[in-house]
């Protein structure tokens, strides 16, 4: 795949062919029985285990190449597979197989006075494009979620993981074939040529129905800016915890520490703490001290700086910052309205939480904050498909179209209307 | 609005301002109580009636201008208002007021083992752009549906109806103000400059969340091709009736005549009749004769031409044609699979119907035809939000994202997740 012959391939032609094959596969998948799709996923898990040696060898070459180019740290770690990680990928396939089939669900059903019976029924979306960066396991995770929802997948991995991703994709295709499904249901873009991404963003001549970018901010921004097809993505998670006047201090402390520090690199980690001026005298110092003592840097407004000399001044940019690190911005606000206004002004419509014993204040925060996920008395780190009970997610979306919040298999479906009559004609 | 001063306005500036105002209004609308939105709609109906003379005078000027430019026929008829039509517009506003509020519906609710309570709740979409052609009543109809769903609307009318549409929009804004809602919740683009459409297609600096084109094929095609924001639309309705081997002839005749001829100009009118070869000997001639006798031109394949000398030959283009007229293409197909293949090859994924007494065949047709609306033993002319019980529709969508089929007030909403906890943190 990486030899000279492929380098001379016309990328536009390759991508057009991928799109055409994906559409044909999607038609077959759309009506595949649940048991067949699930069998393909289990066969794919077996094929992954069976070809573990080849996949790990491909990965070793990818890792060696990356190291030779000076790649290190977290990026290299995300690229690297080992037997335990590969087994986790196989188990994830089996977990997706065990989920309920989202296709065919009757979402609504009603009858009209003329006797016509209407049903809104979940259908696949069609062809899903996934553009991701270093983690080769996304090949299996994203491919499996698309398959479960009856969609064909076109996967574009980062160039560093191309050998590994191709080896994983091959196992998926073995699984599809063993179940009698078209191998083209899951296709990996076989070239590292960046023109392939451009072709996907242009929609592959109408064959691509949606794109899901999985990666850093620059990838997501490019996809959101340039894609001519719908995108399920979030650019960033500038998530807030608002400690309201009626917040229990112990609950607030536990939630703030967890929301910020459980894992700082996830999109649902809190980046800004807002404290109601009405409880600042009692709550601000304990919260700030707890954060500082836990190793978190605090950038605060004047009121926050006053409670501890370790607090550094927050600049305007800090209110918009997605640190993804042990850093938090802290601001004292004048009550619920000011907190909502701050979140609407600086937030990213991802995930925001209020801590309060006042149900009325909570109801207003949950109604008026226009974010995909709004929580009352819970950590923002619950922003995760698994925590929602979705089983697995392909990402979190902050747009308002079609999918919002965790994108699991149900969010990868569309719907149609089935109408049952007995000869009705329209007057 | 139409004087020289406005002609020198920078359209880009005007449109940017409209977008900014719409977003602010949308924030206010999103949390407006149902009663307030409904009061605005009823006040708007009253204002329409109160300013009937001014609206009809504006319309008379629009009609006179159009006639002076040589406009006539159906286009002129769509442009023209009279007291009865204006009253119908006011009644339509009151009917939208009487619909259930689609915002705030709890679409799903569940609890996780850790005690977190999840709700998926309907929210407004945000700012909806509607681009329409001659019918000035769309100003009221579309504005009302957007308002009911808590969305701000930016409406762009055809240049021929600008005076009428401005007069109607003014009444809507009076209604909004009387209910204490921001007038900018419904804005009409105040210029006939075509650059305004380009600005909307570009998304008004991110302020426009979705565009709904209402008009002819060239408008819809341009919007679908150029819009950088999601579009709810159908380009055409190439709708089929398939008369299966097990179809009752009388039922088939009634459905075919109604599907084709009840109204030929609507998107749900049938354009192609497929007849199963297994029943062609008994069904084809009666169906074709009934169509011909009712004044419908029939373009048929060889088998169809053989049953009546009035049938003219169908060319390949006829299978893709949206006649919107008393013309139908008729083809004999080899059973259910061939019928599904024909619909998937030539159809437009809008509305397709099977006539059969065989429930198994119907189930396969309804599952495998990938159209927004699939019917069994019913006329394709039921493809209408009112017939679905949606109360009113802003259009019919054939895309798979977010909305599909009739787009009523529920389809003009998005959702968010509300999560209720008791201090939960994520392990």
Percentage of chain B with pLDDT > 70?
A: 98
Which of A243, A364, A424, A427 is the mutation pick for testing B, counting most B CBs within 10 A?
A424
Gap from A8 CA to chain B (nearest CA, Å): 31
Distances (CA, A) of B409 to B98, B187, B392: 12, 19, 8
List CB contacts (< 8 A) between A122 and chain B: none
Write the pLDDT tens digit of every residue in A204-256.
Answer: 999 999 999 998 899 999 999 999 899 999 999 999 999 999 999 999 999 99
Contact yes or no for B200/B154 (Cβ under 8 A): yes
Q: Are residues A257 and A171 in the same domain?
A: no
Residue A98: predicted pLDDT:
96
Collapsed DSSP state (helix, strand, coil) of residue A176 = helix
- Asked if B402's CB is within 8 angstroms of A401's CB, the reply is yes
Tokens of B100: 């259930």
CA distance B353 to B378: 7
Q: Are residues A278 and A361 in the same domain?
A: yes
Q: Strands, E, within A285-372: which ranges?
A: 297-300, 312-313, 327-333, 351-355
Taking the alpha carbons at both ends of chain A, their separation in whole angstroms is 61
Chain-centroid distance of CA A148 in Å reads 16
**A60 Cβ neighbours under 8 A, 6+ residues apart:** none
Gap from A365 CA to chain B (nearest CA, Å): 10
Distances (CA, A) of B104 to A56, A401, B119, B313: 50, 17, 11, 55
Neighbours of A348 (CB within 10 A): 21
Contact yes or no for A323/A273 (Cβ under 8 A): no
List CB contacts (< 8 A) between A255 and chain B: 423, 425
List CB contacts (< 8 A) between B118 and chain A: 388-389
Q: Is the dihedral of CA B105, B111, B115, B120 positive or negative?
A: negative
Residue B9: predicted pLDDT:
63
List CB contacts (< 8 A) between B368 and chain A: 30-31
Write the pLDDT tens digit of every residue in B223-275.
Answer: 999 998 999 999 999 999 999 999 999 999 999 999 999 999 999 999 999 99
Residue A372 falls within a domain, yes or no? yes
What average pLDDT does range B170-193 have in this prediction? 97
Contact yes or no for A210/A231 (Cβ under 8 A): yes
Contact yes or no for A248/B419 (Cβ under 8 A): no
Neighbours of B293 (CB within 10 A): 11
Residue A72 — very low, low, confident or very high, per pLDDT cuts 50/70/90?
Answer: confident
Residue A110 falls within a domain, yes or no? yes
Q: Does residue B7 carry a pLDDT above 90?
A: no
Contact yes or no for B385/B408 (Cβ under 8 A): yes
Chain-centroid distance of CA A260 in Å reads 19
Q: Are residues B89 and B212 in the same domain?
A: yes
Q: Are residues B23 and B108 in the same domain?
A: yes
Residue B303 falls within a domain, yes or no? yes
Average pLDDT, chain A: 95
Residue B120 — very low, low, confident or very high, per pLDDT cuts 50/70/90?
Answer: very high
Among A398, A210, A226, A21, smallest CA distance to B399 is for: A210
- Asked if A401's CB is within 8 angstroms of B401's CB, the reply is yes
Tally helices (H) and strands (E) across chain B. Answer: 16, 16
| Helix B162-178 vs helix B137-148: crossing angle, to nearest 10 | 30
Which of B353, B363, B419 is the mutation pick for testing A, counting most A CBs within 10 A?
B419
Tokens of A383: 């922003």
Residue B424 falls within a domain, yes or no? no
Contact yes or no for B326/B342 (Cβ under 8 A): no
- Asked if A379's CB is within 8 angstroms of B425's CB, the reply is yes
Cα angle: A166, vertex A172, A176; to 5 degrees? 140
Write the pLDDT tens digit of every residue in B404-422.
Answer: 999 999 999 999 999 999 9
- Asked if B123's CB is within 8 angstroms of A30's CB, the reply is no
Residue A254: closest CA among chain B residues belongs to which residue?
Answer: B425
CA distance A83 to A21: 33
Residue A9 — very low, low, confident or very high, per pLDDT cuts 50/70/90?
Answer: low
Q: Are residues A120 and A197 in the same domain?
A: yes
Contact yes or no for A19/A207 (Cβ under 8 A): yes
Q: Are residues B217 and B326 in the same domain?
A: no
CB nearest A422 (choices: B377, B381, B426): B377
List CB contacts (< 8 A) between B425 and chain A: 254-255, 257-259, 262, 378-379, 381
Contact yes or no for A299/A328 (Cβ under 8 A): yes
Gap from A294 CA to chain B (nearest CA, Å): 16
Residue A393 falls within a domain, yes or no? no
List CB contacts (< 8 A) between A251 and chain B: 423
CA distance B123 to B402: 13
- Asked if A389's CB is within 8 angstroms of B118's CB, the reply is yes
Q: What is the CATH number of the domain that holds B310?
A: 3.40.309.10
Q: Which of A222-231, A323-332, A349-358, B290-299 has the lowest mean pLDDT?
A: A222-231
What is the residue range of A142's domain?
Answer: 4-232+407-418
Q: Does residue A136 carry a pLDDT above 60?
A: yes
pTM: 0.93
Q: Are residues A261 and A203 in the same domain?
A: no
Residue B306 falls within a domain, yes or no? yes
Contact yes or no for A174/A76 (Cβ under 8 A): no
Percentage of chain A with pLDDT > 90?
A: 93
CA distance B244 to A116: 20
- Asked if A368's CB is within 8 angstroms of B251's CB, the reply is no
Write the pLDDT tens digit of every residue in B66-80.
Answer: 999 999 888 899 999
Residue A380 bridge partners (DSSP): none
Residue A400 falls within a domain, yes or no? no
- Asked if B230's CB is within 8 angstroms of A423's CB, the reply is no
- Asked if A419's CB is within 8 angstroms of B378's CB, the reply is yes
One-letter-per-residue 3-state SS of B36-73: HHHHHHHHHHHHHHHCHHHHHHHHHHHHHHHHHCCCCH
CB nearest A379 (choices: B30, B370, B426): B426
Residue B109: closest CA among chain A residues belongs to which residue?
Answer: A388
List CB contacts (< 8 A) between A126 and chain B: 400
Q: Are residues B280 and B227 in the same domain?
A: no
Write the pLDDT tens digit of every residue in A33-68.
Answer: 999 999 999 999 999 999 999 999 999 999 999 999
Q: Are residues B183 and B268 in the same domain?
A: no
Q: Are residues B212 and B342 in the same domain?
A: no
Residue A2: predicted pLDDT:
46
CA distance B393 to B387: 10
- Structural domains of chain B, count: 2
Q: Are residues B18 and B164 in the same domain?
A: yes
Q: Is the dihedral of CA A57, A76, A195, A140 positive or negative?
A: positive
Residue B2 — very low, low, confident or very high, per pLDDT cuts 50/70/90?
Answer: very low
List CB contacts (< 8 A) between A262 and chain B: 425-426
Collapsed DSSP state (helix, strand, coil) of residue B158 = coil
CA dihedral B60, B65, B67, B70 (to 10 degrees): -170
Residue B363 falls within a domain, yes or no? yes
Residue B74: predicted pLDDT:
84
Q: What is the CATH number of the domain that holds B17?
A: 3.40.605.10
- Asked if B381's CB is within 8 angstroms of A254's CB, the reply is no
Residue B4: predicted pLDDT:
45
As a residue count, chain A comes to 427
Cα angle: B204, vertex B206, B208; to 5 degrees? 65
- Asked if A424's CB is within 8 angstroms of B377's CB, the reply is yes
List CB contacts (< 8 A) between A416 and chain B: 370-374, 404-405
Which of B109, B385, B426 is the mutation pick for testing A, counting most A CBs within 10 A?
B426
Q: What is the DSSP letter of A237?
A: -
List CB contacts (< 8 A) between B374 and chain A: 416-419
Q: Are residues A297 and A380 in the same domain?
A: yes
Among B97, B79, B95, B75, smallest CA distance to B87 is for: B95
List CB contacts (< 8 A) between A381 and chain B: 425-426
Which of A103, A382, A390 is the mutation pick for testing B, counting most B CBs within 10 A?
A382
Contact yes or no for B187/B157 (Cβ under 8 A): no
CA dihedral A80, A86, A92, A94 (to 10 degrees): 160
Sheet of strand B152-156: strand arrangement: B186-188, B152-156, B127-132, B210-214
**B58 Cβ neighbours under 8 A, 6+ residues apart:** B163, B164, B166, B167
Residue A73: predicted pLDDT:
86
Contact yes or no for B410/B390 (Cβ under 8 A): yes
Residue A381: closest CA among chain B residues belongs to which residue?
Answer: B426
Among B382, B341, B386, B347, smallest CA distance to B365 is for: B341
Cα angle: A33, vertex A37, A40; to 5 degrees? 140
Q: What is the DSSP letter of A316?
A: G
CA distance A360 to A363: 5
Among B38, B283, B276, B262, smallest CA distance to B149 is for: B38
Residue B391: predicted pLDDT:
86
User: Quick check: ipTM above 0.90?
Assistant: yes
- Asked if A421's CB is within 8 angstroms of B378's CB, the reply is yes
């Amino acid at each position: 795949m990486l030899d000279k012959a492929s380098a001379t391939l016309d990328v536009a032609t390759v991508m057009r062919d991928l799109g055409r094959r994906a559409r044909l596969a999607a038609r077959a998948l759309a009506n595949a029985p649940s048991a067949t799709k699930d069998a393909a996923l289990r066969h794919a898990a077996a094929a992954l285990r069976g070809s573990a040696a080849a996949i790990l060898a491909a990965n070793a070459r990818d890792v060696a190449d990356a190291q030779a180019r000076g790649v290190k740290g977290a990026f290299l770690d995300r690229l690297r597979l080992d037997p335990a990680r590969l087994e986790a990928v196989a188990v994830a396939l089996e977990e997706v197989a065990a989920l309920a089939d989202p296709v065919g669900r009757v979402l609504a059903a009603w009858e009209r006075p003329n006797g016509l019976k209407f049903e809104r029924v979940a259908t696949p979306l069609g062809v899903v494009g996934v553009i991701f960066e270093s983690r080769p396991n996304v090949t299996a995770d994203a491919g499996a979620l698309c398959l479960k929802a009856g969609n064909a997948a076109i996967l574009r991995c980062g160039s560093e993981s191309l050998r590994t991703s191709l080896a994983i994709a091959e196992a998926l295709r073995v699984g599809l074939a063993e179940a009698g499904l078209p191998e083209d249901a899951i296709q990996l873009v076989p070239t590292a040529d960046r023109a392939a991404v451009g072709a996907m963003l242009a929609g592959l001549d109408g064959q691509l129905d949606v794109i899901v970018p999985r990666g850093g901010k620059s990838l997501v921004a490019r996809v959101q800016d340039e894609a001519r097809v719908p995108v399920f993505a979030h650019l960033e998670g500038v998530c807030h915890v608002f400690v309201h006047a009626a917040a229990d201090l112990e609950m607030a402390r536990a939630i703030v520490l967890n929301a910020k520090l459980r894992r700082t690199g996830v999109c649902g980690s809190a980046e800004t703490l807002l404290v109601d001026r009405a409880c600042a005298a009692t709550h601000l110092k304990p919260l700030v001290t707890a954060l500082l003592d836990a190793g978190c840097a605090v950038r605060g407004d004047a009121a926050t700086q006053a409670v501890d000399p370790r607090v550094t001044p927050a600049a305007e940019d800090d209110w918009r910052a997605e640190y993804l690190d042990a850093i938090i911005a802290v601001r004292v606000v004048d009550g619920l309205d000011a907190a909502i206004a701050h979140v609407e002004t600086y937030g990213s419509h991802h995930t925001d939480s209020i801590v309060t014993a006042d149900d009325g204040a909570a109801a207003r925060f949950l109604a008026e904050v226009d974010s995909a996920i709004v929580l009352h008395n819970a950590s923002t780190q619950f922003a995760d498909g698994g925590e929602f009970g979705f089983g697995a997610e392909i990402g979190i979306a902050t747009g308002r179209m079609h999918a919002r919040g965790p994108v699991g298999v149900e969010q990868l479906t569309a719907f149609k209307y089935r109408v049952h009559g007995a000869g009705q004609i329209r007057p």
